[in-house]
A and B are shown apart, each in its own frame.
Chain A
């Protein structure tokens, strides 16, 4: 138990350090940390606000079909799927194939204790995240349903077991994907394709649920069927917590604990073998002189960024999912067609709404795709290379911005072009459909880089910590979402200004912000970089 506590604390400190590392810059360190703490607290409140608002909207919708108990079921499923998504690519780096494996395995500690300590850290992060979703869901449900004492007790008893099934499933899937990919020469590419296929499959499954609802008359039963089919343990959780069914509650706890125990047991049993297998690299590539090629400095830096990007599955998935969702959404719109989409929206001015909200709505996907926010931190122990080479730091920054833009700009152009053509956007709105997401693409790339210059972390043992949990990435996501949410809210509020003018105003503000950020990177960036 002592060993477990020591290892758990060590890894937890490591991960928390990656969120708020000690800066190497001496000036304004206290202010920097205070500012970060304030933004983090604000972000936490913002998530709670979003979560409560979403639950209230959902609750009102479920009350209309007399099925309020679907709220916890729906939020439970959503939360579990989110945990499953985010844990699949955390498996390598936390449970297997982490950088301090040699050091930890050399310690006189049981392998099972080591595995449990790693899983406990994974559990802790997932549990903290679920509190932001399930507590608001339970609170909103309790407010509207006024349930008995049993609900509160059973909810609190069931809550700690919620992350167990997603971790068990994601752990198994993640390990299987890594094992399958390891057999190939280009194992990272195979790994990426398999994970993307898994995620796309789950997304397509969720799209299919809408078709299912449309074809039945009894909506409440249909939604129940969808939720349960989408994530079967939701039925046990809902029956156990909301419908006073003690057997269902007991079964949910038993299944959750069982899945988690089985994965822990299997991981501990095969820990050394799996790590040896996953850490091994193929070494049979024959060197040929034709591989010696020349290119310009800027292109060499850009190629380095591309190779770095595609060498990391978590990096691609964490920053590419927004664009994948963007493309899948565009494809779904194309398949459904204009009339059906307008029919779904239901409102009399549905077409107008589509033209007005479209440019901002697609920008939401763009701000989720920020590669620059972790790009400087990812230099890690390799930082000495670019610092000792005769390179202008501005060229290094530009290569990082170029990578971000080369992912988001083509996605915007292709998807916006298809949407504009299919929905016959008027010229003015079509211009905004391209210009606004493109300006957000620049904002995301430039803003992410500035945030990473302000909050770098080079002392990491697993790249997942900087890609997913670092301060700069967290801030980039929240600021980006805020930058889209504010104009979206302005479009909803009845104002004496046309939506087109609001969109133009947003374009002007975002473009100005881009110019200021670019100026900051070019003038202040090199000085900050020299201090690292």
Chain B
């Protein structure tokens, strides 16, 4: 579903944010991308979401290159950044309509999916209000609903649980698993290692732009907790 091949990104001033990163996420997997602040997680996520331009390496989404076929890639995935700034001048439903129009979702399907997900995240009654009146958590919920209504095969998420209340977090984790059960995949970054340990089928740990561990969650942590392994690897690497 997702293949990152020798991806590197250098910013101005020759600062190498990510260096020669390669990994693969298979259909049916929830993949956790872990690393300390400034490790290169967001840079990688933005590049594979088609938001950030890059020169070295390749990223394939469902077999398509994000460089060569960006529209094909973006049609099959959904991306939510760590701080979803949405169009504050639109109402919640107007924003979902806009996303629905871009993905060409027909009227009946759109209504069914919007109401289904809005009910699950308890946002239905607020959809008529302007996004500028929403709290951070409500914006996060709306961003998640907008990502789900076009039934993406791959979900790409940067710190998706920040701002969500416990119930919404639980609902979202359930939905992530549902997507994987139907042949999709989820790639997300997190600092919450407990969540990664319980939720992810596979994890990768990145430090200073380089991959230092990758594999099944159980294999990576061995007899220790993921937190212990993370601290050990990120301090010793």
The closest CB in chain B to the CB of A304 belongs to: B98
B90–A297 CB distance below 8 A: no
A389–B74 CB distance below 8 A: yes
The closest CB in chain B to the CB of A387 belongs to: B51
How many residues belonging to B are interface residues under a CB distance threshold of 8 Å?
A: 48
The verdict on A530 contacting B115 (CB below 8 Å), with A282-B133, A286-B128 known, is: no
A381–B51 CB distance below 8 A: no
Inter-chain contacts of A311 with B (CB < 8 A): 88-89
B89–A308 CB distance below 8 A: yes
Name the contact of B91 in the complex, choosing from A285, A299, A385 (C-beta under 8 A): A285
A287–B12 CB distance below 8 A: no
The verdict on A389 contacting B99 (CB below 8 Å), with A307-B90, A382-B87 known, is: yes
Cα distance A392–B91 when bound, in Å? 25
Q: Is A384 an interface residue (CB 8 A)?
A: yes
The verdict on A300 contacting B94 (CB below 8 Å), with A289-B111, A307-B89, A531-B53 known, is: no
Q: Is A148 an interface residue (CB 8 A)?
A: no
Inter-chain contacts of A296 with B (CB < 8 A): 101
A388–B74 CB distance below 8 A: yes
Taking the closest CB of chain A, its distance from the CB of B12, in whole angstroms, is 5
Inter-chain contacts of B89 with A (CB < 8 A): 307-308, 311-312
Taking the closest CB of chain A, its distance from the CB of B82, in whole angstroms, is 10
B85–A287 CB distance below 8 A: no
Q: Is A391 an interface residue (CB 8 A)?
A: yes
Inter-chain contacts of A284 with B (CB < 8 A): 129
Q: Is B50 an interface residue (CB 8 A)?
A: yes
The verdict on A293 contacting B85 (CB below 8 Å), with A283-B126, A286-B125 known, is: no
Q: Is A294 an interface residue (CB 8 A)?
A: yes
Taking the closest CB of chain B, its distance from the CB of A51, in whole angstroms, is 37
B101–A297 CB distance below 8 A: yes
B87–A281 CB distance below 8 A: no
Inter-chain contacts of A349 with B (CB < 8 A): none
Taking the closest CB of chain A, its distance from the CB of B139, in whole angstroms, is 12
Inter-chain contacts of A291 with B (CB < 8 A): 91, 93-94, 97, 127-128
B110–A294 CB distance below 8 A: yes
Q: Is B106 an interface residue (CB 8 A)?
A: yes
Cα distance A287–B130 when bound, in Å? 11
Taking the closest CB of chain B, its distance from the CB of A458, in whole angstroms, is 11
The verdict on A292 contacting B107 (CB below 8 Å), with A282-B133, A283-B129, A392-B71 known, is: yes
Inter-chain contacts of B110 with A (CB < 8 A): 292, 294
Inter-chain contacts of B101 with A (CB < 8 A): 294-297, 299-300
Taking the closest CB of chain B, its distance from the CB of A286, in whole angstroms, is 6
Cα distance A291–B102 when bound, in Å? 17
Q: Is B79 an interface residue (CB 8 A)?
A: yes
Taking the closest CB of chain B, its distance from the CB of A313, in whole angstroms, is 12
B87–A287 CB distance below 8 A: no
Inter-chain contacts of A531 with B (CB < 8 A): 53
Q: Is B100 an interface residue (CB 8 A)?
A: yes
B51–A285 CB distance below 8 A: no
The closest CB in chain A to the CB of B107 belongs to: A294
Which residues of chain B in 133-171 are interfacial with respect to chain A, using CB atoms and an 8 Å cutoff?
133
The closest CB in chain B to the CB of A529 belongs to: B53
Taking the closest CB of chain A, its distance from the CB of B133, in whole angstroms, is 3
B86–A294 CB distance below 8 A: no
Inter-chain contacts of B46 with A (CB < 8 A): 384
Cα distance A35–B88 when bound, in Å? 35
Cα distance A261–B141 when bound, in Å? 46
B50–A387 CB distance below 8 A: yes
A308–B87 CB distance below 8 A: yes
B87–A385 CB distance below 8 A: yes
The closest CB in chain A to the CB of B100 belongs to: A294
Q: Is B36 an interface residue (CB 8 A)?
A: no
Inter-chain contacts of A392 with B (CB < 8 A): 71
Cα distance A311–B96 when bound, in Å? 18
Inter-chain contacts of A26 with B (CB < 8 A): 12
The verdict on A388 contacting B97 (CB below 8 Å), with A285-B129, A291-B128, A381-B85 known, is: no
Inter-chain contacts of A299 with B (CB < 8 A): 101
B71–A384 CB distance below 8 A: no
Q: Is A2 an interface residue (CB 8 A)?
A: no
Q: Is A64 an interface residue (CB 8 A)?
A: no
Taking the closest CB of chain B, its distance from the CB of A362, in whole angstroms, is 32
Name the contact of B75 in the complex, choosing from A292, A295, A390 (C-beta under 8 A): A390
The verdict on A307 contacting B128 (CB below 8 Å), with A281-B133, A389-B102 known, is: no
The closest CB in chain A to the CB of B75 belongs to: A390
Cα distance A382–B110 when bound, in Å? 23
18 A-B residue pairings within 8 Å (CB atoms) = A281-B133, A283-B133, A284-B129, A286-B125, A286-B128, A289-B115, A291-B93, A291-B128, A292-B110, A293-B97, A293-B107, A295-B97, A300-B97, A303-B98, A311-B89, A388-B79, A390-B72, A391-B71
Please give 15 more A-B residue pairs, beta carbons under 8 A apart, in addition to A283-B129, A287-B128, A389-B99.
Answer: A285-B130, A289-B111, A291-B97, A295-B97, A300-B102, A304-B90, A307-B87, A308-B87, A311-B89, A382-B86, A382-B87, A387-B51, A390-B72, A390-B103, A391-B102
Binding site for B on A (CB under 8 A): 26, 281-289, 291-297, 299-300, 303-304, 307-308, 311-312, 380-382, 384-385, 387-392, 530-531
